[in-house]
A and B are shown apart, each in its own frame.
Chain A
Amino acid sequence: MIKKGLAAALLALLGLAAIVGTSKFLMDREYKSPALTPPGQTAETPRDRGLADQRAEQEKADKEKPYQEAEYRPFPKVGSRVAVWVAAQLHLLFAAFVLAVPLFALIIEFIGYRTKDPRYDRLAHEFTKLLSVSFSLTATFGAMLTFGLIILYPKFTNYLVSVFSPTFLPYVGLFFFEAFFLYTYYYGWGKFSPRVHLLLGLGLNVVGTAIMLIANAWLTFMTSPSGISETGALISTWDAVRNFTWMPINIHRIIANVAFGGSVAAAYAAFKFLGAKTDEERAHYDWMGYIGNFVAICAFLPLPFAGYWLAKEIYAYSQTLGLTMMGGAFSWLFIIQAVLIGNLFLGANYYLWLGMGRIQGAQHFQKYIKYLLILVALCFMVWATPRSIISTVSEIRAMGGSSHPALGFLGVMSAKNTAVNILILTTYVSFLLYRRGGKTPTVKWAKTGNLAQLGIFLAAASIVLFLGVYGYFVEASVRIAFSIPQVLSVLFAMVSVTVIDVFLYKNAEQAGEPRWGQIAPISQYVLIFIAVTFTWLMGLMGYVRSGLRQHWHVYGVIRDTSVDAFTPTLGFATKVVSVTVLIFFLLISFVFWLASLGGKKDWEPRVKEGAKNNLPEPEDLGAAV
């Protein structure tokens, strides 16, 4: 059997060798085209010569290629505009946060220093914990934006450099000082005398604000250029810096930064509150969220008026820009803005009403909430009413135009101004009720004081309403000017009522301290909602400010000739802003997480059960060393 098997295997091998040999014999004699022959084995074909000529021509053309400055370079997938847009927006959001937090951290630290209450010092320190990582992210996105501009928009960037180059070195110098102050302020907490530490905080704020002022000059110049000749040649850098929208943007941004920073810090507190394990932690983060939200809302109240000033300056600089913004392509974004701001006011009031739940003796104010809510909702509706309504053809025909014969009156500035002023007064009343929760005044003039406060409120509301109605009977420029007495009456009411209230409730009887931490968890989601809404609002309004130049890089000077020289649809713009906001909150969540690592225990290697007893004692280790 074995012999038979071996013979069969041998036969199979011989057969295989015969097949391979035959195949090789036949393949060696196959016809081969000279064109397919490997180089060097046959003579050069015409095709090879053609290819060589082509390469030589390309090399010659490459050597003789003249230098041409690129105007634009493409960015893969999303395009150059969206790439720079997202980088600029993220840079701005982190920069706003880094500028705002030191501002109110310093104020809170100062309050702690004056009142000797360590809670304020701890709170200010906790706020600054968020700064160092945010500062790094600001710088990273700033670098991304700068490289993005240099690479993708070289011609435009060169032009900006030609106008603003004298501002660059001071900017870099200030940036260095900001890093110095920021890290010394944060790491030096408790290491210096309080006064020295407060001075460091002041330095940080001054330098941060100066940086913002310089950067604002660059971007406002793009909207309202000045200090240049008709052809765009530089005449005066200082005039280019102090262009027409520079100061309105400076004021608007400082206030908005504080509102934004306060809301994000409140969101951090909410994040910590929701994850708190002890009552003490909950109480601390409830208080922190309240302070952050208080800062945000205080800054938020004057913000619409700073916005009016900016819009007025834009209109005064160019009717075209003004109309593009308020009546043209971007006007619908202001309806979205109104809806978001209305939500912010509703959220702010709602948080205060929920906060009354943590104050003993505040229950009797609950009955007023219904009326405050009706006022808030009505003002919200007025503010969100568009002048030109989205309507079908039959609806337009029924209305006799794009505005409704009755509701159309709510779509103009008189109604909007009135609504926002009443909204601010209502929010202030909510705060006043919250502040008074559980307290009974002990001064003799309590009744008179209350009546005086009521009188001031009614007078302010009457002025606002009267000017609002009268505004319909005067021409537009007079109507716009009415916003000033309206605002002043509201501000006067808030300041004077606060002053009276402070004296009225001095030494007041208190039913009990606020029970910090005992607030419905939904309130913390409101804080997060407010922060997200603020951020979204900043993104949308930033797009309006930048986009209203339309097909100009620098309005009237450098025309946008890139493939992106068109105004994107509102839907696209809101998608880009929303994605940017989402990225920001993912990154800020990372910052929150990093900031919370400080409170965690140090890492220790896991020790198996039973092995613990075999670990060497410290003394033994010392002996071994």
Chain B
Amino acid sequence: MSLPIIWWVALLLLAVQLVLWKSRAGTFLWTLVSCFSFWVFLRFGFTVPVPQSVISLYMGIALLAAAAYVTSSRDRLEGFTGPLVRLCTEPARRPLLYAVVLLLPALAAFAVYRQMNVKLEAPAFGRTIHPAPPDSITVHDKALNLTTLDNPYRTLEKSDPPAFASHVANGRRVYYENCFYCHGDALRGDGMYIHGLNPIPTNFADAGAIALLQESFIFWRISKGGPGLPEEGGPWDTAMPAWEKFLTEEEMWDVTLFLYEFSNQRPRAREGVHE
């Protein structure tokens, strides 16, 4: 069977739920197992591990929801607290109580051990991916208004497809001569220099990257690179050069066309801009 891991984990957890249902598990057990199952799903259910910040966020919501469920009726609250009360008060359960009393600090110690026993690395950082562009830029001594700027070769797509294709081909040449070292063969941000870069370059194949942006934005990023990023949104950690120093304006527009064509995406259309 070559099912992705997410299905295996989901099926396993579903089986656990089925067992709970069949065994008529009480609110306490059901809540505890469901929350733990959800954590297992997040932690082990994905081929690419889910970042800890998202796991914390989701688990916070899940625990909040569980608390709301348990306390939203008297019966459920009694169903949840009943086993705990019995554990603490009934003499027959005293061995189990002692085990729990010993287990809780042991679990806490284990959690501390796991948190401490990790590879040292830079702390998590919420990086702003799309910096705000200025209203206008100057490229090769030419003032360009980014609010109204369009790719001058985009219209060829319908009016003159062969000419459009030649611009895309030129963009392909420019990309593989200059950009692919960092952005990769398939535009996935996994070029050969990636191991020396932090943060890693943009993955153009990602549906949430260039498809959300107008072409003028891409042109601005290519032409001005890291040095042209706005001061107010810093600190910007990027090794992207200002390509206006190496490429012509046409080449920069062509590579923009290529990025969209190769990744099979469309640039963001301009909203009804107020003039």
Bitwise interface map of A from 362 to 395 toward B, beta carbon under 8 Å scored 1, else 0: 0000100110011011001100111111111111
- Check B53–A323 contact: CB distance below 8 A: no
- Check A396–B132 contact: CB distance below 8 A: no
Bitwise interface map of A from 340 to 371 toward B, beta carbon under 8 Å scored 1, else 0: 00110010011001101100000000100110
Residues of B within 8 A of A42 (CB): none
- Check A408–B206 contact: CB distance below 8 A: yes
At the interface, yes or no: B81 with Cβ under 8 Å from chain A? no
Partner of B130, one of A327, A346, A357: A327
Which one of B103-111, B174-182, B194-202, B241-249 is at the A interface?
B194-202
Closest to B133 in A: A320
Give complex CA distance A313, B268 in Å.
16
Contacting residues of chain A (530-556) with chain B, CB-CB under 8 angstroms: 550-551, 556
Partner of A391, one of B46, B53, B62: B53
Whether A321 contacts B132 in the complex (CB less than 8 A), given A342-B61, A396-B200, comes out as yes
At the interface, yes or no: B54 with Cβ under 8 Å from chain A? yes
Give chain B's interface residue range (CB within 8 Å of chain A).
35 or more
Residues of B within 8 A of A401 (CB): 189, 200, 202-203, 206, 209
Which one of B7-15, B64-72, B157-165 is at the A interface?
B64-72
At the interface, yes or no: A331 with Cβ under 8 Å from chain B? yes
Give complex CA distance A387, B134 in Å.
23
- Check B130–A377 contact: CB distance below 8 A: no
Bitwise interface map of B from 251 to 275 toward A, beta carbon under 8 Å scored 1, else 0: 0000000000000011111111110
At the interface, yes or no: B141 with Cβ under 8 Å from chain A? no
Residues of A within 8 A of B6 (CB): 406
Give complex CA distance A476, B130 in Å.
15
- Check B64–A346 contact: CB distance below 8 A: yes
Residues of A within 8 A of B95 (CB): none
At the interface, yes or no: B188 with Cβ under 8 Å from chain A? yes
Residues of A within 8 A of B270 (CB): 477
Closest chain-B Cβ to A86's Cβ sits at a distance in Å of 23
Residues of A within 8 A of B146 (CB): 319-320
Give the residue among A374, A390, A409, A480 with the most B Cβ atoms within 10 A: A390
- Check B271–A323 contact: CB distance below 8 A: no
Give complex CA distance A571, B52 in Å.
20
- Check A392–B123 contact: CB distance below 8 A: yes
At the interface, yes or no: A10 with Cβ under 8 Å from chain B? no
Closest to B267 in A: A475
At the interface, yes or no: A317 with Cβ under 8 Å from chain B? yes
Given contacts A366-B75, A395-B52, 13 further A-B pairs with CB under 8 A are A317-B274, A318-B147, A319-B217, A331-B130, A343-B64, A385-B54, A388-B127, A390-B124, A395-B49, A403-B206, A406-B48, A408-B206, A476-B268
Interface pairs (27), CB distance under 8 Å: A315-B271, A317-B273, A317-B274, A319-B216, A328-B132, A354-B73, A357-B74, A366-B75, A370-B69, A373-B69, A374-B65, A381-B61, A384-B57, A384-B61, A388-B126, A390-B51, A392-B121, A392-B123, A393-B121, A393-B198, A400-B190, A402-B127, A404-B46, A407-B50, A408-B206, A472-B207, A477-B271
Give the interface of B toward A (CB within 8 A). 6, 46, 48-54, 57-58, 61-62, 64-65, 68-69, 71-75, 119, 121-135, 146-147, 188-190, 198-200, 202-203, 206-209, 211-212, 214, 216-217, 232-233, 265-274
